[in-house]
Structure 1
Amino acid sequence: MLLTILGGCGAWPGAGQSCGGYLVEHDGFRLLLDPGYATVPRLLERITADQVDAVFVTHGHPDHCADLNPLLRARTFRDDPSSPLPVYSLPGALDAVLALDRPRALAGAYVLREFAAGDPLDLGPFQARTRLLPHSVPNAGVRLAAGGRVLAYTGDSGPSPEVVALARDADLLLAEATYADRVPEDSRHHLSSARQAGRQAREAGARRLLLTHLQPGTDPVAAHTAAESEYDGPIGVATPGLVLDLWVDRDLR
């Protein structure tokens, strides 16, 4: 299982950056997780738009799904349109982004496959387990298993035993860490800090931790240090272009 980071900013893309977006590959199948702002240009540096086999979106905030629109345009506005792209999301999560174009402009570009959090899914070679995690809108964390390896991804989530269950014994926990240490009072139930991500990785027994969704201006060194205070396994911070082979044990720093 191969993971490529397309971006790691939360809320909006910082200068020269992109929001969260992740390409997960196994046995030639390419799954795109959360195509947030500015991720499609990064994606197209690596593969063509028609080489994406499926898209999974955790929730409907635009920093997690806005670039679904240019991806579908790149597959459709051409002489040889691509086959419809399977797009998985919670019910209604993609209504806004799919309404950006004129009616029917992208009607044949995708097949929307809505699911309920908790549903198991088969995404090509990936066996996916979904779990409702606490956020300001419904958010489905996902656990992907293939080839004897497991990747757990939170989307956006406040600290919860459900995150620990999602990441239990995972080879990699890709965890939202908007803040390094202190989460503002009004966000404590639906966003997390790097320190909390580290604590939950430890409680889950995850083998590696990759922090993502850092809000622009959050010091990545401070985030790493905060997570390290709770978790003694390898820790990294998601940066565009980082490629991880989950079969290879490596330092994420």
Structure 2
Amino acid sequence: MLGKSPSWQDPGGACSGYLVEETGMVLLLDCGNGVFGKLRSRVDYVDVDVVVISHLHADHFLDLIPYAYALTYSPRQQPVPVHGWPGTDNPARPRLLCPRGSRDVFRRVTGAWGTETLVENAFDLCEYDPDECLEIGPLRLRFHAVPHFVPAWAIEIVSLQTGGRFTFGADSAPTDELVRFADGTDLLMLEATLPRPERDGTRGHLTAGEAGDHAARANAKQLVITHFPDELGEQWVRAEAERSFGRAVLVAREGETYAL
């Protein structure tokens, strides 16, 4: 758990970012603001094999920019010797799997002050087809659309070695589609941005109670609540989710790990 904050960071915290490790494979799921620094406290950023982005809101991708700067300009990534570093002909270039339209979004963001192609030059960028199932080393990934303010994708990650199944709900309004997609999952991670449902307009997020209800109907073995503001407090969030889930709920804390 690298970052659990919603679109504004907790004090000293980070937005959406989750590290998945399996038998030599290192996958970063989302890279929101503040996540790159948290990532560096856990693993070496050049050792990340693949980054997967659930949707194109800043709190889920913004730290791709400092990450791209590190991959481009850090001493270890240079082709010639730099103090303390011998130079390399093979700089790290992690795979970056992101939704359709990402390349244009990243170009608009970074082009506002510098090189438009910063992100795509630093990473091996691929816009995924959400209808395809991807196998990446010992992991298999599936995607499913969830209702949000922009196209967003719930993501299932399965270990091909152990069969352990992790489902990330991304950001989503209440939806039976997410319940069906997550049915029987070992670990379901759902956001709980809202203290109560929106009064009017388009829904885009869940409350903790709604997250618990979705997990119960999905028969999830474990539920982790994430993407909630610290102002709500862990105790209140947990109680709301447990009331509808019917049993114990885990509340995300940065630095926590979950084994499947």
Q: TM-score, normalised by structure 1?
A: 0.89
Shift in alpha-carbon separation, 1:75–1:120, aligned structure 2, 3 A: same
Which structure features the higher share of helix residues? 2
Q: TM-score, normalised by structure 2?
A: 0.87
Q: Is 1:221 the equivalent of 2:230?
A: no
Q: Write the deviation string for residues 46-71 of structure 1: whole angstroms up to 9, x where unpaired.
A: 11110111000000100000011111
What pairs up with 1:51-90 in 2 under 5 angstroms?
51-81=47-77, 82-90=91-99
Q: Write the deviation string for residues 66-104 of structure 1: whole angstroms up to 9, x where unpaired.
A: 011111222221244233221111111353345414134
Q: Is 1:167 the equivalent of 2:167?
A: no
Task: Report the more deviating stretch, 114-123 or 190-199.
Answer: 114-123
Task: Report the more deviating stretch, 68-77 or 87-96.
Answer: 87-96
Q: State percent identity of aligned pairs.
A: 30
Deviation at 1:124, TM superposition (A): 2.5
Deviation at 1:245, TM superposition (A): 1.1
Task: Report the more deviating stretch, 73-82 or 152-161.
Answer: 73-82
Cα-Cα RMSD: 1.7
Which of 6, 9, 23 pairs up with 1:10? 6
What pairs up with 1:31-42 in 2 under 5 angstroms?
31-42=27-38
What pairs up with 1:103-142 in 2 under 5 angstroms?
103-142=116-155
Decide whether the 8 Å contact of 2:64 with 2:119 is kept in 1: no
Decide whether the 8 Å contact of 1:19 with 1:213 is kept in 2: yes
Q: Which has the larger radius of gyration?
A: 2
Deviation at 1:149, TM superposition (A): 0.3
Structure 2: 5+ residue stretches without partners: 78-90
Decide whether the 8 Å contact of 1:164 with 1:203 is kept in 2: yes
Mapped to 2, the partners of 1:229 and 1:237 lie a distance apart of 14
Mapped to 2, the partners of 1:94 and 1:206 lie a distance apart of 34
Structure 1: 5+ residue stretches without partners: 247-253
Which structure features the higher share of strand residues? 1
Deviation at 1:183, TM superposition (A): 1.7
**Which residue number in structure 1 is paired with residue 249 of structure 2?**
235
AA paired with 2:182?
Answer: A
Deviation at 1:203, TM superposition (A): 0.6
Deviation at 1:187, TM superposition (A): 6.2
Deviation at 1:224, TM superposition (A): 0.7
**Which residue number in structure 1 is paired with residue 87 of structure 2?**
none
Work out which structure has the larger RCO, using CA pairs closer than 8 Å and 6 or more positions apart in sequence. 1
